Amino acid sequence: MWRATVFTLFPQMFPGPLGVSLSGEALARNVWALESKDIRDHGLGRHRAVDDTPAGGGPGMVIRADVLSASLDAGLVAEDARPRLLLSPRGAALTQSRVRALAAGDGAVLICGRFEGVDERVIEARGLEEVSIGDYVLSGGEIAAMVVLDACVRLLPGVMGKAASGVEESFEAGLLEYPHFTRPRAWEGREIPEVLLSGDHARIKAWREAEALRITRERRPDLLAKRPARGPSREA
């Protein structure tokens, strides 16, 4: 079973959206397991303080190394080899290839930051890997953790209806996904492209490849720059 453990100041936020739709159904079927750990259980003093002012001055507060390390040490066994992901805007960008690697493993540990972040020393001492879901800042790591988990869980065996659903989609081939159409055939004067109604699977495949290239070139040329060189493809 794929296991996720989330360390957070707001355990009541979980499972949240992960408890419905594909991820929720998979959770109910024990395809994966989710547990949340309250960092504040290891807070200090009567008010269970978890943060303090930043060394060197500056605005905001920082999660203390002693508090977070105590929470991690109590919630995880030493033999737990799952990746320890700290959701952070300064982390490495989450990619589909990284998601696939995570989904292929035993699970993940996710640490949700708050305030200005966490003490750098606990990141180093506990081997935390900083991961970012985008070039923007959230109020905390909880929503980012949900994004990571949703991306991973949908790839677990038996979660999606068809295995191909996880292959023919954006980023899987280094491209954005081609356009989709369904009934009705005509809608507000717009027709489904004739090639998709032809029944010619080779032409359909070539059209989809060409459209994926076109859309990627227009919207995310950076992806093409990273894509391995490939032979010429047929275009409809």
Average pLDDT on 95-100 reads: 96
What is the overall mean pLDDT for the chain? 93
Q: What share of the chain has pLDDT > 90, as a percent? A: 89
Main-chain dihedrals φ then ψ at residue 104, nearest 5 degrees: -80, -10
CA pair distance 41, 33, nearest whole angstrom: 21
Q: Which residues lie across from 32 on neighbouring strands? A: 2
What would the two tokens of residue 197 be?
A: 């109604």
Lowest mean pLDDT among 33-42, 45-54, 158-167: 158-167
> What domains are there in the chain, each with its CATH number?
2-153 (3.40.1280.10), 168-226 (1.10.1270.20)
Assess whether pLDDT exceeds 80 at residue 198: yes
Whether omega for the bond prior to residue 184 falls within 30 degrees of 0, making it cis, is yes
Average pLDDT on 191-207 reads: 97
Confidence at 234, pLDDT banded by 50, 70, 90: very low
CA pair distance 144, 197, nearest whole angstrom: 40
Lowest mean pLDDT among 19-23, 52-56, 101-105, 157-161: 157-161
CA pair distance 132, 148, nearest whole angstrom: 10
pLDDT of res. 226 = 84
pLDDT of res. 235 = 41
Instruction: Judge contact between 129 and 81, C-beta under 8 A.
Output: no
User: Tokens 């040490």, residue?
Assistant: 73
Q: What number of other Cβ atoms are within 10 A of residue 126's Cβ?
A: 17
Instruction: Judge contact between 63 and 100, C-beta under 8 A.
Output: no
pLDDT tens column, 179-194:
999 999 999 999 999 9
- Single-letter residue type at 44: L
SS3 per-residue string spanning 100-159:
HHHHCCCEEEEEECECCCECHHHHHHCCCEEEECCCCCCCECHHHHHHHHHHHHCCCCCC
Confidence at 77, pLDDT banded by 50, 70, 90: very high
In the chain, DSSP finds a helix count (H) and a strand count (E) of 7, 9
What would the two tokens of residue 54 be?
A: 């930043």
